[in-house]
Amino acid sequence: GKMAQDMTEKELLKMELDQLKKEVKNERQMVSKTGKEIKEYIESMAGEDPLLKGVPEDRNPFKEKGGCTIS
């Protein structure tokens, strides 16, 4: 596809209209309901979250493989 800066105003407006047509079909829910559900889900998964509990050294794919020696 074209980059946005290469598009005419009409093409940009059509793209925006297409996006809005998609978004209007989304099912909507109250934030007061979904916020509570999201919080409960996050708290229930916290024990498995590597960002919170860390990754064991033996299972860390990004662990340094070796050192660097300067002589």
The pLDDT, as a whole number, for residue 61 is 84
Looking at residues 39-65, what average pLDDT do you find?
88
Residue 31 sits at the vertex; the CA angle it makes with 28 and 34, to the nearest 5 degrees, is 85
**Does the residue 13 lie in any domain?**
yes
Percent of the chain with pLDDT over 70: 97
Q: Is residue 66 part of a domain?
A: no
Residue 8 lies in a domain: yes
Residue 65 forms part of a structural domain: no
**pLDDT at residue 26 in the model:** 94
CA 22 to centroid of chain Cα atoms: 20
Residue 9 within a domain: yes
Q: What is the CATH number of the domain that holds 50?
A: 4.10.260.10
**Tell me: the pLDDT tens digits for 14-40?**
999 999 999 999 999 999 999 999 999
Instruction: Judge whether residue 55 has pLDDT over 70.
Output: yes
Residue type present at position 65: K
Q: What is the pTM of this model?
A: 0.44
- Residue 13 domain boundaries: 4-59
Number of domains in the chain: 1
Position 19 scores a pLDDT of 97
